[in-house]
Amino acid sequence: MVARSLLDDSRQLQRAIALIGLGARLQLLQSETSLPYERLLKLYKEVAGRSPSKGQLPFSTDWFIGWQPNIHASLFFNIYEYLQKASAIDEVEALMKAYQLYVAEVSTNGVEPLLSITRAWRLVKFVDSGMLCLTACKRCGGNFINHSYELSANYVCGLCEPPARAGKGRRGGLIH
């Protein structure tokens, strides 16, 4: 039997509690902590006050390419990438901090966040695996999420060239 450190267990518990507080799904907790499934399940019920959501995680990269989700995903990922480069924190800590900053930024503008912590985590995994990447817009120079295999020489982002019916929905506004 491997001896487990109480201090490491405490760190793993704090990380799991923070992720649950941000709305993480159980699969994310299992992947990013070393705690056993049964313990995570019990912790989730205790912290969230309910059983975790069931079902598969979103897998399609296409969700991140749609007009509004792309703006949100690109904002989150640029924050995440900056934190990774500018600070000495691990990937999960960067994920949590970037997500909190993303939510604060869009909420400041009165916009409901489209990205959940679980989708943000999947986005990071998609970029790490080479399925998605950041592509610079040729007009504004901003970096936006795009399929890795797409031609990017003439890429124009959804902010510079919104779809024809953008903002015509019941809520109006550019990034609602």
The number of folded domains in the chain is 2
> Is residue 135, in this structure, part of any structural domain at all?
yes
Backbone angles phi, psi at 158, to 5 degrees: -70, -15
> Is residue 65, in this structure, part of any structural domain at all?
yes
Question: What pLDDT, on a 0 to 100 scale, did the predictor assign at position 174?
Answer: 44
> Is residue 33, in this structure, part of any structural domain at all?
yes
Strands (E), the chain: 132-136, 143-147
Confidence grade of residue 56 (pLDDT, cut at 50, 70, 90): confident
The residue type found at 31 is S
Output the domain CATH number for residue 127.
Answer: 1.10.10
> Are 96 and 27 found together in one domain?
no
Do 143 and 136 touch, CB atoms closer than 8 A?
yes
Model-level pTM?
0.88
> Are 40 and 91 found together in one domain?
no
Q: Give the C-alpha separation, 9 to 157, whole Å.
A: 44
> Are 37 and 65 found together in one domain?
no
Please write the tens of the pLDDT for every residue from 120-162.
999 999 999 999 999 999 999 999 999 999 888 899 999 999 9
Domain that holds residue 28: 6-48
Please write the tens of the pLDDT for every residue from 23-33.
999 999 999 99
